[in-house]
Amino acid sequence: MAKREGKRAVTKKNIRILSLLLLAVAFVITCISVLTAVMPKHYDVKIGEVSPYTIYATRNVTDEASTETLRDAARAAAQTVYRIDTACVETYLRGANAFFDALTALRAEAESLNAAGAEQTLTAEGWGELLSEEQKAALSAKTEPALDETQLCAVLAAGVSEIRLMQDLVLPKLETSLNAGLSEDGLGSVKATCMREVNASTSLTAGLKDVAGIVIEAYMKPTLVVDEDATALAREDAAAATEPVILKKGETIVERGTVLTASQYAILSELSLVRAEQSNMPLIVGTLLLLLIAFALFTLYLYFCRTEVFYDTRRMIILTVFTVLTMLLALLCNTLDVRMNPALIAVMLTALLVCPRIALAESALFAVALGIMASGSGTALLGTDSFMMTASTLAAGIASVFALQRTQSRAALIAAGAIGGAAAVVVVAAVMIMAKETFLSVFAGIGWTLGSSMLATLLVVGSLSIWENLFDVATTARLSELSNTNHPLLKQLMVEAPGTYQHSVMVAALAEAAAERVGADPLLARVGALFHDVGKLRRPQYFKENQKNGENIHDTLPPQESAQTIIAHQKDGVTLLTRYKMPSAVIRIASEHHGNSLMTYFYYKAKQVEGDKVQIKNFRYSGNRPSSKESAIVMLADSCEAAVRSLGETKREAVEEMVHKVIYGKMTDSDNMMTNAPLTLAEFTEIEKSFLKTFSGIMHDRIEYPDLAEVNK
């Protein structure tokens, strides 16, 4: 026992090492693929020299030089911001008021001169004659601006009320215009408007209108000045509102044979395409670290949560092959369009051939790897393309895996792939809309995503049979096809061994219901039961259920020959199933449905004839004991169906007793047929209950119909 345990431990250790090596291979290929996609090619070019290459953008990049030119143009086109200079307004209004105050003082002084020389009120001409040239000059100089002789005489000849009227007419217009803000460009039109209103007044003399004109001309001046801070802010706002010039991935940066400009060199530097310009070491280290973390988490999940897969070499090989193929396909697709996603192929095939939960974890692994690849450069790992690929890969993988849970046929795989593609489309559209892409760009993104998803689905459907046969996996779709009664072996069994066929159908019904009850694979149990006795096709008449007219060929044969003939059907079945390229899981059920049990009937018959000379090994089946739930269930169903059929009656109590006897016997007899079966005592009880329920439905009592001849008497 200790030796056996030690050998088992060594074998388990070897499998663990092999699984880790397979994952290491997948990790290395993934790293090579991702780094190939994100590592930029370096070009030996210099500013002012002719480029020997045509260089394309490896990702979307901003053309800073062109963008800055547009921004400068936007700054120049931005309107200058003005503000009203209140100090100037006050100065101009103060000057105008001082002018009218000076007029009042001037008239008072002139009146004193008039009082000294004449009693009557003088006209403008009279004042002109009364005052000397020196007096006129002195009085004219008292106002700012100064009055000429005509204007002075007009003011002196006017009454106080007329001057007040002129003041009330001019000052409000002046104040309103100055406070509203006057610019150099609009000053002339405002002055003209004010003068038209003054000239339209009938209460003023022509001379006073001239005086009003010089006031307006002197004190109506621009009050708007440039607001430097606001203008600078407006220009920067205009520059900020300018859309940057974006070079799309794949667009030409510099043509071969053209002189490289400083702006083109800046773009190449931004994309790390200039030789010796930047080191790629940070990009390499960061990428490897991210992938290492992703693979480490994936490995830990397999090791601790999915040990049945981690210690299954075949399924680990499948995982490795699919990971490698996906990364190589992703590298190819990345050169065509970043939205082409081949991960759905591996995820769906993994869900079908390995385990749905492993497929979900694999989706996360591919999301990380393809997200990095989609960036196109280490400087854009958090860009739109990278995020879009990561999110869409996860969405497509999760949606398709859950859709596959209800899949029972190959045709339904297309629907599952379409659901995964639809989920990816929603994510891609949402991300592109958030990135403010144009409608045509969003539509193109949807087309690429949905198209690649459907192409991946068609590849899954088309290649599934190849993978099933290559890795010998009994998928749900494959088992569904095998359970079809049109299968050549079943049709042959129906024609050449009808009794065996009916027995197999009964066993299939029992096994399928019991497997579903204890959490085994009901479809595998059903198919295994349908094909478990195909070996009887070699000599169908040697088996009781196929014999007619009560003739039993074994009555004429020696017991050992009869036993060897019947024992051979287990081996013959394996040979026949292998020839038809059946899944190994089905073949195993056929090879284990009798295990190495003893043919008791012929053994005791031989002992009656030969006594102790009989060798028991000649009466044992050569198969192994059931090693899976499905195989054990088929063995129990096979034995119970044969035993119940031998009763010749369908009374419930008799059936219950026989089923319990058979199951209990398989568990406790000296052969220990259930030793290797991964079934618990509680599950054996559930299997027994399931068998009884199925028998009650199949072998129910029927009413006895009267003889028609008696009825017609």
pLDDT in tens, 494-511: 999 999 999 999 999 999
Average pLDDT, the chain: 86
Q: Is the pLDDT of residue 260 over 80?
A: yes
pLDDT at 117 > cutoff 60: no
**What would the 3-class secondary structure string for 366-427 be?**
HHHHHHHHHHCCHHHCCCHHHHHHHHHHHHHHHHHHHHHCCCCCCHHHHHHHHHHHHHHHHH
Buried b (16+ CB within 10 A) or exposed e, 191-228: beebbeebeeeeebeebbbbbbbbbbeebbbbbbeeee
pLDDT of residue 247: 84
pLDDT band (50, 70, 90) for residue 1: very low
Q: Residue 492: pLDDT above 50?
A: yes
| Higher pLDDT, residue 674 or 408 | 674
Residue 404: CA count within 13 A, CB half-sphere:
31
What does the pLDDT look like over 156-188, one tens digit per residue? 888 888 888 888 889 998 889 888 888 888 888
Look up residue 50 and give its DSSP letter: B
Q: Answer yes or no: is pLDDT of 381 > 80.
A: no
- Give percent of the chain above pLDDT 70: 92
Contacts 24+ apart (CB under 8 A), 642-648: 642/503, 644/695, 644/699, 645/503
Q: Which tokens sit at 662?
A: 């058979």
Rounded (5°) CA angle 77-80-84: 170
pLDDT above 80 (res 93): yes
Instruction: Please give the residue that has the higher pLDDT: either 381 or 389.
Output: 389
Q: Which comes out higher in pLDDT, residue 278 or 342?
A: 342
pLDDT of residue 508: 94
- What pLDDT shows up at residue 227? 84
* 301 or 51, which is more confident: 301
- Residue 447 and residue 671: Cα distance in Å, rounded? 63
More confident residue, 411 or 413: 413
- Least confident range of 2-6, 250-254, 490-494: 2-6
Tell me what pLDDT residue 582 has. 92
Q: Which two tokens stand for residue 310?
A: 């981690």
Side-chain half-sphere exposure of 530, counting CA atoms within 13 A: 24
Q: Is the pLDDT of residue 700 over 60?
A: no
> Which two structure tokens, joined as six digits, stand for 692?
């009884």
Q: What is the pLDDT of residue 378?
A: 45
Provide the 3-class DSSP secondary structure of residue 593.
coil
With 0.75 as the threshold, say if the pTM is over it.
Answer: no
Best CA proximity match to 255, nearest among 37, 46, 54, 467: 54
Element (H, E) at 62: strand 61-62
Alpha-helical regions (H) of 435-521 = 439-471, 476-482, 488-496, 498-518
Phi/psi class of residue 548: alpha, beta or left (left: φ > 0; alpha: ψ in -120 to 50)? beta
Mean pLDDT of 256-265: 86
What is the tens place of the pLDDT at every residue in 643-676? Answer: 898 887 668 888 899 999 999 988 887 777 898 8
Mean pLDDT in residue range 439-453:
90
pLDDT the model gives residue 628 = 93
pLDDT computed for residue 251 by the predictor = 84
pLDDT value of position 120:
56
Q: What is the pLDDT of residue 392?
A: 93
The model's confidence at residue 708, banded by pLDDT at 50, 70 and 90, is: very low
Q: Residue 279: what pLDDT?
A: 62
CA atoms within 13 A on the CB side of 592: 25
- Amino acid identity for residue 510 in this structure: L
- Average pLDDT over every residue of 337-348: 88
Positive or negative CA dihedral for 496, 502, 503, 507? Answer: positive
Residues 6+ apart with CB under 8 A from 510: 529, 637, 640, 641, 690, 691, 694, 695
**Is the pLDDT assigned to residue 85 strictly greater than 70?**
yes
Residue 382: per-residue pLDDT: 56
- Residue 88, judged by CB atoms within 10 A of its CB (0-12, 13-18, 19+), counts as middle
